[in-house]
Amino acid sequence: MGASHEHHRSRDRRALILSLILVFIFFLVELLGGLWTNSLALVSDAGHMFSDVAALLFSLVAITWAAKPPTPAKTFGYHRLEILAALINGLVLWGICGIIFFEAYQRLWQPPLVKSGPMLIIAAAGLAVNIVSALLLFPSQGRSINLRSAFLHVLADGLGSIVAITASLAMLWWGWYWFDPLASIIIGLLIIAGSWQLVQETVEILMEATPRHVDIQAVVAKLEQVPGVINVHDLHIWTITSGLYALSVHAIVNGSRERDAIRCDMAAVLADQFGLEHATIQIEEEATSCPNFCLWQPPARGKGPA
């Protein structure tokens, strides 16, 4: 299990490094090309590519540090760096969008001339780079929200390149120079749409919200079906990093079974039925339970509103 995880991590790191090199080289090409052709759409796409560079760099640093072992001061290790990297990537994207919108608004009313032929060539080359980078990152993006954030950066930039190609064709064929700032606005909207859920998920993780795929009432019901358990309370489920979840719970027992046996059965239910393997279970006798200071109580079942 550990060897397989390390194999994936090594492969993910190689994909990030290759993508980072490709995107950084073409960021320079697109930025200089955008300034030369006077295309805001290309400069906007270059700005997005710069955010790709930052995203890939953040992701590379995060995945490297996440492999470090826990310490007495950081008992969960550095796993949360991946979540912070994903959040920073999303917020940087939004900041770039604000700059794009401001510049596009000014250009929309007085669109400057753009060298649409060279712009078309540069945008098409940018799309090719995005496709290669997306193919490199696609196998890894399902394993980590951090890697998914990097993949979404590259994917959104690919859509931006398509919009830039469309703008260059509109200017080349029909002389619609207003299409250039319009295309940059569309690129900005694509960026926001692609990163919205990412930012929302990272904030939920940092707030230690219950993972979206876990039904907390179903967890309560299954745990209370374990023989010897009267009820459970003070149940907390949260995400450490992508694919790593933690749980703590108090269980009141009736004394009919050994505590260790009940704890083992509860741990098996959590691991087998919900994939929650990092669980802390506190067993309590009914007479010495702690309802007064526990934070979360499951609602009483079978009772309607008063």
Q: What is the pLDDT of residue 227?
A: 94
Domain membership of residue 303 (yes or no) is: no
DSSP state letters, 230-243: EEEEEEEEEEEETT
98 with 232, same domain: the answer is no
Q: Is residue 293 part of a domain?
A: no
- Which of 177, 206, 235 delimits the end of a domain? 206
**71 and 37: one domain?**
yes
Q: What are 204's strand-pairing partners? A: none
| 255 and 123 co-located in one domain | no
pLDDT at 64 over 50: yes
Specify the 3-state DSSP secondary structure of 84: helix
Q: What is the DSSP string of 199-221?
A: HHHHHHHHTTPPPTT--HHHHHH
- For the chain, the average pLDDT equals 81
On the question of pLDDT at 4 being above 70, the answer is no
Of the three residues 188, 206, 224, the one that is the final residue of a domain is 206
Domain membership of residue 26 as a residue range: 2-206
The rounded distance, in Å, linking the Cα atoms of 51 and 43 is 12
Contact indicator for 280, 247 with CB cutoff of 8 Å = yes
Q: For residues 37 and 217, which has the higher predicted lDDT (pLDDT)? A: 217
Is 231 inside any structural domain?
A: yes
Question: Does residue 297 sit within a domain?
Answer: no
Q: Does residue 27 lie within any of the structural domains?
A: yes
| Higher pLDDT pick, 198 / 237 | 237
Which of 206, 237, 268 is at the close of a domain? 206
Percent of all residues in the chain with a pLDDT value above 70, rounded to a whole number: 87
Q: Do 61 and 192 share a domain, yes or no?
A: yes
* Pair (192, 100) in one structural domain: yes
Phi, psi of 9 (to 5 degrees): -60, -40
Q: What is the pLDDT of residue 202?
A: 86
Residue 50, domain member (yes or no):
yes
Using the predicted structure, report yes or no on whether residue 175 has a pLDDT greater than 50. Answer: yes
Do 97 and 139 fall within a single domain? yes
248 or 189, which is more confident? 248
Which CATH number fits the domain that encloses residue 159?
1.20.1510.10
**Residue 36 within a domain:** yes
Q: What is the mean pLDDT of residues 7-28?
A: 80
Q: Is the pLDDT of residue 8 over 60?
A: no
- 261 and 136 both lie in a single domain: no
Q: Which residues contact 156 (CB under 8 A, 6 or more apart)?
A: 48, 93, 190, 191, 194, 195
Q: Are 136 and 14 found together in one domain?
A: yes
Q: Which of 52-66, 135-149, 175-189 has the highest mean pLDDT?
A: 175-189
Which pLDDT score is estimated for 65? Answer: 75
Q: What per-residue confidence (pLDDT) applies to 235?
A: 93
* Domain co-membership, 129 together with 14: yes
295 inside domain: no
Are 196 and 227 found together in one domain?
no
pTM above 0.75, yes or no: no
Residues 14 and 56 reside in one and the same domain: yes
For residue range 263-293, what is the model confidence (pLDDT) as tens digits? 999 999 999 999 898 899 999 886 565 655 5
Structural domain total, the chain: 2
Lowest mean pLDDT among 197-211, 237-251, 265-279, 290-304: 290-304
What CATH number does residue 249 fall under? 3.30.70.1350
Same domain, 80 and 47: yes
